């Protein structure tokens, strides 16, 4: 079992003819993902890495039964691509694009609320269910199938923790990169809810970072509704207030909301073991799963 | 991107939000001419993109042309919270009166815009939110429709704005929301909005533009000014890095925001002080690696550098080649460099690295501890 994507997922790549889209389509195919279609307006009829290209998402869905989209469309056109994906009634939409204007994401999120689609991102690495499929840009070779679910605001930090987990013999059920923007589709709470329904996820690692209050919301949710043990990590303890640390959403406000310490305190009071280092995170997982 | 006060006020005026008459001046003489046009009393206000200018001595209220000359003389050229003041706004003084607040921002928790009105202007709104939340009315906006007119009326009445100016304040809130939406604002604030005998007037103006939206706000992108307060941050910005300078002595270079933040935290965890945050992003080519090293080495406080790269799609051997080529550009490596590579082709990468020039560690924790030790511990 897994969450969001599995071996049956049929992926359409929006923006497949761009550099990133083309490269990661090849990478996904190599990993074993069923990339069944690409979409680029005006380029219908072409093929990329043997994958047929359509002009619209609905044509791709009609012809190839796609149920999952991965979006590499540049920021200026990303919102429209996401509206199109939502209109096509897909199960999962993964937005890789970094730098989508925040007001656009707000409008997308407004439309998303009226659908049953799960949006992952924007500005994240996507989703992988090791051994089955990946929808995104995560490096497949560091992942192994297993019992640990991961949800994270950061790509490379996830790879770091997964690499250590794999080295210690703990594989992963699904890893979800929710993205580093101020507004994202699937947040921590929704990801935790999904993992809670997956019998094969025996523990969840939650990697947060400074900015916003999604980790605090996750802590309340864990306290009230999550049985699966959760191990936490929060990046940015040394981040100064008022400075954006790489991700658009990673900023401690001048008045002190969004600090790592707030988030760590909230998670710990919900019973989450929070590691001070990535190695400690793996240690906590080992304590839970032996 | 933060607009300067005079730039934000220009947007406000175009949007129909009342602002005091003002002129921008770059020299003392220009300030005097401006004051003559505007008419004393005037406020002479330093144009820098920081809050708390008044307390820091960047704003002076003066009665006569002689005083304008003295104030402009003092403020122009001053250093204010790390910024050099090269312009002042000379603005008609408004009689001290009731101070209100109006603002628009994104509520990250719900992913929707929120419009706010408060009867406690002149104070930082986050302080008011903490001390006296009832003094703020908040209206969540549906971004599909924009702000409904009733929402502005409702906010103004709920928070208890005096009837005599309620319509004026509602009109300002509506205009500010529309402006925020049209110009891709991230935060827009009028604090204070002063109540005068003739209505309301925006005495201060904050308008921050969403950096991700600058591509479709070309006129705002064109007026973007260097915001860096120090030379290194400017250099990093020119190279296109996400860089934040801190006070410590361990220079940090890595790929991916979360991993770089984690490296900073680990430096502190192991008893060191991070000197900076520097994210080189994905696909490290030699040029980019060299520019990153150049930026970090240029920081006089840095005593050692730790490179933390997790090769995902990027291959470790390519990164290692990049680091070698980057190091070739230095006759002498100025400070010890510790490199930690992990992920795809990391083992091969570590073989390629020249251990005469860099120290190679395979674990993140070991690499950070080695760099902290090389830097000689806390500053």
Query: What are the residue boundaries of the structural domains of chain A, listed by start?
Result: 1-123, 139-290
| Contact call for A102 and B364, based on CB within 8 A | no
Which residues of A fall within a CB distance of 8 Å from B365?
277, 279
Mean pLDDT, rounded, of chain A: 95
Which residues of A fall within a CB distance of 8 Å from B143?
103, 106-107, 110
Q: Which of B27, B46, B37 is nearest to B65 (CA)?
A: B37
Which residues of B fall within a CB distance of 8 Å from A75?
212, 215
Question: Confidence class of residue B130 from pLDDT cuts 50, 70 and 90?
Answer: confident
Lowest mean pLDDT among A144-153, A242-251, A261-270, B8-17: A242-251
Give the pLDDT confidence of B253-262 residue by residue, as tens digits.
999 999 999 9
pLDDT at B55: 86
Mean pLDDT of A34-58: 97
User: Does the structure show a pLDDT above 80 at A1?
Assistant: no
Cα nearest neighbour of A99 on chain B: B212
> How many angstroms away from the CA of B355 is the closest CA of chain A?
23
Mean pLDDT of B73-100: 91
Architecture of domain A139-290: 3-Layer(aba) Sandwich (3.40)
CATH code, residues B231-375: 3.40.50.261
Mean pLDDT of B129-151: 93
Mean pLDDT of A123-128: 96
Give pTM, 2 decimals. Answer: 0.93
CATH class of B99-222: alpha beta
User: Does the structure show a pLDDT above 80 at B282?
Assistant: no
Q: By the CB < 8 Å criterion, does A219 face chain B?
A: no
Lowest mean pLDDT among A83-87, B232-236, B285-289: B285-289
Q: Is the domain B21-92 a CATH 3.30.1490.20 member?
A: yes
User: Does the structure show a pLDDT above 90 at B44?
Assistant: yes
Mean pLDDT of A97-112: 97
pLDDT at B174: 97
Give the pLDDT confidence of A159-191 residue by residue, as tens digits.
999 999 999 999 999 999 999 999 999 999 999
CATH class of A1-123: alpha beta
Other Cβ atoms less than 10 A from the Cβ of B200: the count is 24
| Contact call for B216 and A141, based on CB within 8 A | no
Q: Which of B104, B212, B319 to mutate to test the interface with A (most CBs of A within 10 A)?
A: B212
Query: What are the residue boundaries of the structural domains of chain B, listed by start?
Result: 21-92, 99-222, 231-375
pLDDT at B228: 59
Which residues of A fall within a CB distance of 8 Å from B144?
107, 110-111
Give the pLDDT confidence of B266-276 residue by residue, as tens digits.
999 999 999 99
Mean pLDDT of A39-66: 97
Give the pLDDT confidence of A71-101 residue by residue, as tens digits.
999 999 999 999 999 999 999 999 999 999 9
Residue with tokens 């706004």: B89
Q: Which residue has the higher pLDDT, A165 or B81?
A: A165
User: Does the structure show a pLDDT above 70 at B229?
Assistant: no
Mean pLDDT, rounded, of chain B: 91
Give the pLDDT confidence of B307-319 residue by residue, as tens digits.
999 877 677 888 8
pLDDT at A177: 97
Q: By the CB < 8 Å criterion, does A182 face chain B?
A: yes
A1-123 shares its CATH topology with A139-290: yes
Query: Measuring CA to CA, how many Å separate B178 from each of A171, B6, B15, B74, B107?
Result: 50, 19, 8, 38, 17
Whole-angstrom distance, CA of residue A23 vs CA of residue A13: 11
| Contact call for A105 and B111, based on CB within 8 A | yes
pLDDT at B368: 97
Residue A177 near residue A120, CB atoms below 8 Å: yes
């Amino acid at each position: 079992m897994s969450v969001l994507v599995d071996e049956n997922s049929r992926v359409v790549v929006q923006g497949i003819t761009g550099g990133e889209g083309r490269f990661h389509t090849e990478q996904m195919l190599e990993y074993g993902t069923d990339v069944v279609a690409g979409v680029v307006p005006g380029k219908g009829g072409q093929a990329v890495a043997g994958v047929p290209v359509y002009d619209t998402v609905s044509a791709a869905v009609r012809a190839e039964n796609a149920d999952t989209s991965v979006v590499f469309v540049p920021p200026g056109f990303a919102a429209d691509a996401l509206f199109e994906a939502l209109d096509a009634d897909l199960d999962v939409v993964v937005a890789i694009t970094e730098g989508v204007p925040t007001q656009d994401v707000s409008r997308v999120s407004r439309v998303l609320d009226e659908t049953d689609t799960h949006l992952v991102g924007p500005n994240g690495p996507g989703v992988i269910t090791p051994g089955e499929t990946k929808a995104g840009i995560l490096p497949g070779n560091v992942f192994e199938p297993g019992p640990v679910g991961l949800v994270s605001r950061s790509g490379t930090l996830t790879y770091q923790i997964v690499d250590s987990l794999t080295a210690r013999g703990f594989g992963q059920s699904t890893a979800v990169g929710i993205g580093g923007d101020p507004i994202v589709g699937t947040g921590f709470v929704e990801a935790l809810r999904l993992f809670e329904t997956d019998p094969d996820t025996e523990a969840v690692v939650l990697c947060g970072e400074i900015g916003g209050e999604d980790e605090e919301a996750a802590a309340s949710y864990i306290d009230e509704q999550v049985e699966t043990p959760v191990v936490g990590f929060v990046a940015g303890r040394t981040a100064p207030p008022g400075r954006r640390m790489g991700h658009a959403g990673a900023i401690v406000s001048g008045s002190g909301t969004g600090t790592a310490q707030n988030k760590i305190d909230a998670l710990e009071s919900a019973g989450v073991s929070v590691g001070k280092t990535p190695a400690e995170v793996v240690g906590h997982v080992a304590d839970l799963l032996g | 991107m933060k607009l300067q006060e005079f730039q934000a006020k220009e947007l406000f005026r175009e949007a129909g939000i009342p602002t005091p008459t003002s002129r921008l001046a770059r020299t003392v003489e220009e300030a005097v001419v401006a004051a003559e046009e505007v008419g004393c009393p005037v406020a002479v206000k330093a144009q820098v993109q920081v809050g708390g200018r008044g307390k820091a001595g960047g704003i002076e209220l003066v009665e006569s042309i002689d005083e304008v000359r003295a104030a402009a003389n003092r403020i122009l050229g001053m250093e204010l919270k790390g910024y050099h003041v090269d312009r002042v706004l000379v603005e008609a003084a408004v009689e001290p009166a009731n101070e209100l607040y109006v603002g628009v921002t994104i509520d990250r928790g719900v992913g929707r815009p929120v419009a706010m009105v408060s009867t406690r202007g002149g104070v930082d709104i986050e302080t008011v939110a903490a001390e006296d939340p009832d003094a703020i009315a908040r209206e969540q906006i549906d971004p599909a429709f924009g702000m409904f007119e009733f929402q502005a009326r409702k906010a103004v009445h709920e928070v208890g704005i005096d009837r005599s100016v309620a319509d004026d304040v509602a009109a300002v809130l509506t205009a500010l929301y529309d402006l925020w939406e049209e110009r891709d604002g991230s935060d827009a604030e009028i604090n204070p909005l002063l109540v005068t005998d003739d209505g309301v007037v925006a005495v201060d103006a904050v308008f921050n533009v969403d950096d991700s939206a600058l591509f479709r706000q070309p006129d705002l992108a064109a007026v973007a000014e260097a915001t860096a307060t120090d030379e290194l941050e400017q250099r990093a910005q020119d190279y296109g890095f996400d860089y934040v300078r801190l006070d410590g002595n361990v220079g940090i270079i890595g790929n991916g925001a979360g991993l770089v933040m984690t490296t900073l935290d680990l430096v502190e965890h192991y008893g060191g002080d991070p000197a900076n945050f520097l994210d080189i992003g994905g696909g490290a080519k030699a040029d980019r690696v060299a520019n990153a090293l150049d930026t970090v080495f240029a920081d006089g406080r840095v005593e050692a550098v730790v490179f933390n790269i997790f090769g995902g799609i990027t291959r470790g051997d390519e990164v290692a080649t990049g680091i070698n080529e980057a190091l070739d550009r230095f006759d002498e490596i100025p400070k010890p460099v510790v490199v930690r590579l992990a992920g795809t082709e990391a083992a091969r990468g570590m073989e390629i690295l020249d251990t005469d020039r860099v120290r190679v560690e395979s674990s993140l924790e070991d690499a950070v501890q080695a760099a902290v030790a090389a830097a000689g511990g806390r500053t």
